[in-house]
Structure formats: C-alpha cells, structure tokens
Amino acid sequence: MLVTGQHTVKKSTAGSHVKRPEFDGPTMSFVDTLRQWDEAVSCVDKEDLSEAFRIFLSIQEPNSKICFDIGCLHLLKQDLDAAEKAFDCSIRKDEHLAVAFFQRGITFYKKQRYEESLGDFQHAFKALRGNQLIDYKALGLRYKLYACDVLHNMALAEAQLSNWEKAQENLVKALNYKTEFKLNIIDKALQSTLKQKLFKLVEFPSKELFKPNKTYVAELEKKDYLGKAKVVASVVPQDEFSGFAPLQPQVEDGPTGPKEPEVLRALEGEPHTVLFEFVPETSDELAVVPGNIVFVLHKGADNWASVIFNARRGLVPYNYLERLEISLASKQNEETRKPLTTLEPPTRPERKQGKEDAQPTDNSYIVKVCFTFNFVVSVPPGSSYTTLVEKISKKLNRPFSAITLRCKTDEQSVININSDMERVWSHIKDRHITLWCKTKETREITLVATHSYESSNPEDLTFHQGDTIRLLSRVNQDWLEGQCNGNTGIFPASFVEEVPVNG
C-alpha cells in the first residue's frame, strides 16, 4: 500500500522494474517516476553507474532535475555529446535552472566550443540575479553555485578566445562576489591572465545529483521515520489527535528550554497546508514543500502571506496554500485531508518593493558596500562623507568612528572625512557605485556549536556540533549571522556559545 497524505492508494504487487514499451503504453505515473529516480540515485551512491543509467533512461517523462542528473553521469563518463543533449533537455524543461547552464557551459568548454561555453556561463550568472550564490539544498541538490565561480569560468572562456582584457574584467568582478575560501583561486587566475596564461576550470562535482523529495520517498515505502507519534502542540485545546504531521527537520539532542514566545505565537495564526513547492528568491521569503503545515499570521493585499514554519517567519504566496481545518479525530482528518498535489504551482505574485535601500525611488545614488557580506544603501546625490557613513553605520550597527571606506581594495584609496567627495561621486555610473568597507573591531568574537544545525532554507548556515563560527552580526535576540567553513548565513543563537577570550 502507498500512503499519500492521509489517503491510502493501492500499489501494484509486481516488482518495481516492470518493462514498459518505449513509445506505446500508459504514461508513467508520478509515483513510478519518483520510485525509479530514488533507485537510480541510490545506485550512484553505491558506485553502480551502469544500473543507475539503466534506471534513469527507463523513466519515460523525466523532469528537468532528472535530465540534469543524467547529464552529470554522462559527463562523468566523458560522453560529452550525450551530456550536452541531457543538459539541453534540462534547460528546455526549466530555463531558469542556473546550474544546468553552468554544467552545459562546462560541457561546451571540454568540447572546445568556447563561444557557446561563454554564453552558457553568462546565462548562469544572469540567473543568479546579483546574489553571491544559489544554494540548491532546498531543491534536493547538495551544491552551492557561487557567482565568483561562474565569473571565473567566464574569464577562462574569454581567455581561450584571446580576450585577455575581458578575462581580467570578469575576474576583478568576481572579487566583489568572493568568499574567503575562494579568494586564492581568483587571485591565482588573475595573476595568470596578467601573464596571458590559462588557468584551471572550476568544475561541478558530477556525482552530486538532484534527489527526490524525502517526504514523498518516505511515503512511498510507508516507513516510520519519526518513531512513535507524540502530540507536541495543537491549535485545539486538549486535542487527542495522535497522527503524524508532515516530516519536519528535527534537531537531535537540541536545547530543551521552553520555546521562544514568537514560536508559540504561531498558534494564534491560521493553519494552512502547502500545496506547491516554493523556492525563495529573497532572504525574507521561506522555502516550503507540499504537505508542510504553516501558520498564516497576515495576508497582504498583494497575495503574499506572512507565515511561521519551523520557528521561522517569512513570506509565501497565499495561492500556494490551502486552509487546514484541524479536527479532534484522526478519522475525520483522513476523510478531509487532500492528497499531495502534483500540479504545476500557480503564478508567483508580484512583490511590492518594501525595502528602503533595495532600489532607487528618486535620483538617489545606490552604493554597493563590500564588507564580509555585501549590501546596498541609498543616499542623496552629492552626499557628504558623514551622511554616507551614518547610513552604513546604522546598517552594520557599528559606531561611526569604527568604519573605514575605500574606493578600491588597496590602502591608498581610503576615504576620510576631509576627502573630496566630488572625486568619489565622479566614479558613479548609472547612479551606482561600489565601495569597500572595513571596521575596527575591539576583538573578533568566535562561537562554538553546542548542537548541530542543518536547515533547508538557503540563507541559513549549516554546521556540526563542535564547529567554530566567526560572528558577523546579531540579527535579533534569537538569530545570529556568522561564517563557518567558508559559508555565511544565519543560525539560532541557542545552538552556539561564545568561546572565552583566553579559551
């Protein structure tokens, strides 16, 4: 039997490897596709690539992610023609999948088709929309596509075409998107271009594949992943319901203290079931998948809902949700709950610009500030040094006197209060300028993880118990921003403790 949501569906007793006609016969169901996809990925984990190929190629209507996986395996076998066709298929099915453009660009590069390679890397960079990276973990791929890596490969393709100046420009641009552990790679590549020498291609780890949603796979086999059911919290007082909620990320041996007030306030909202997978495009949106239960705190006129899910607050399109009526009896739940949908999600609603400094609303200058993380501020044209630094000081929550600005990364370009700001503003283009920022810290705060933390949200920082984390900023009393193992993100303050100065 196959359990989907609260409905029970009969499953064929035949083996999962039923031979099907290649062109005739019934269309493969979502369940069959999901099962074979999971089996193929498991074969790759076991190093059985031939069996993985056989299963992958038997899927009649592969989605974009499955086509991507097939392309990765072909690339692993150095079958470049087959890899190109698979990535073509992936991009046709999802023209916004930046990592597919990146992989096809690598394939073209290995085929010495450098102009096409450059075009694909440019498509991948455009799909990043100015972000430092895309974390595909929420979509089932344990990989982060960095903008600096894409620019690095764009520079290499330009170098192969003998466009050395453009290659250098791309590498200089990559410095704006770099993370600390990528800096040496970019610097070495930049030194090579100055000598008009080629450098090494940044490649994707081809054994990293998109994997099907864990919730769906768990329901396929009717496995008990959570142990005995336990009522943790209910909207209804004295609720005796003892069924399972959809699978949620759990923290093993996490903090045992009481929940924060904001978490408990979720019970004041209206419970809704998520109908479609939603991938966030900005840091104030939340990643959710079909079957998740969220609490809607507020629905805006623009069709975006402010929700709480897994103690995180953020925005989700309201047309991706359906109100959930919670009853006291599990049988009533079985009768009323709908199975997980496989339909295409509705159109993403337009976001109204709500951030003060995100886009210019008048003739303001937009200043991109390169710090340990990048951000922007807007100031009136011809602003003074004091006005500019006060904006940055407020953004970083650091004192005015602790901030040093530079026009470039070198020490000779320091801007001070006596500098001629007209010279600074003379470098502005299209009302945009980039400045570099450093702060004088009394000391660097280092944290140690007391518990492991892993989340499907792209903006979060994943770490393991015992890892050291460099504190970058305090988001609020419950959340911090830090850097660990070359990655930057936010995490719960209760999962770490500060390392003593003499510790």
User: φ and ψ at 488, to 5 degrees?
Assistant: -120, 140
Q: 34-58, pLDDT tens digit by residue?
A: 888 989 999 998 889 899 999 999 9
The answer to pTM > 0.95 is: no
| High-pLDDT (> 70) share of the chain, % | 69
Q: 187-215, pLDDT tens digit by residue?
A: 888 888 888 899 999 998 878 899 887 66
The architecture CATH gives domain 261-338 = Roll (2.30)
Cβ distance 141 to 210 under 8 Å? yes
Tokens of 442: 């009394």
How is 131-153 classified by DSSP, letter by letter? Answer: -SEEEGGGGT---EEEHHHHHHH
What is the band of 400 on the pLDDT scale with cuts at 50, 70, 90? confident
Going by CATH, does the domain composed of 365-439 fall within 3.10.20.90? yes
Q: What pLDDT score was predicted for residue 20?
A: 36
CA atoms within 13 A on the CB side of 17: 8
In the predicted model, is pLDDT for residue 319 greater than 80?
Answer: yes
In the predicted model, is pLDDT for residue 264 greater than 70?
Answer: no
How is 415-466 classified by DSSP, letter by letter? Answer: E-TTS-HHHHHTT-BTTEEEEEEEE--S---EEEESS-B--S-TTB--B-TT
Q: What pLDDT score was predicted for residue 32?
A: 79
In the predicted model, is pLDDT for residue 137 greater than 60?
Answer: yes
The domain segmentation of the chain, as residue ranges, is 2-143, 261-338, 365-439, 446-498
In the predicted model, is pLDDT for residue 107 greater than 60?
Answer: yes
Beta strand residue intervals within 236-361, DSSP E: 270-274, 293-299, 304-309, 312-317, 321-323
Cβ distance 336 to 326 under 8 Å? no
310/153 Cα distance (integer angstroms): 38
In the predicted model, is pLDDT for residue 263 greater than 90?
Answer: no
Q: What is the arithmetic mean of pLDDT over 425-442?
A: 80
Tokens of 191: 């030194």
User: φ and ψ at 438, to 5 degrees?
Assistant: -130, 155
In the predicted model, is pLDDT for residue 125 greater than 70?
Answer: yes
Sequence letter at residue 245: A
What is the band of 276 on the pLDDT scale with cuts at 50, 70, 90? confident
- 261-338 and 365-439 share one CATH topology? no
Averaged confidence pLDDT in the chain: 75
- Show the 3-state SS of 367-382: EEEECCCEEEEEECCC
Q: What pLDDT score was predicted for residue 352?
A: 52
User: φ and ψ at 362, to 5 degrees?
Assistant: -140, -135
Residues in the chain: 503
Which residue is listed with tokens 């894409």? 150
User: Which residues lie below 8 Å from residue 303, measured CB to CB, with a gap of 6+?
Assistant: 317, 318, 319, 349
In the predicted model, is pLDDT for residue 294 greater than 60?
Answer: yes
Could you tell me the CATH superfamily of domain 2-143? Tetratricopeptide repeat domain (1.25.40.10)
User: Which residues lie below 8 Å from residue 331, measured CB to CB, with a gap of 6+?
Assistant: none
CATH code for residues 446-498: 2.30.30.40
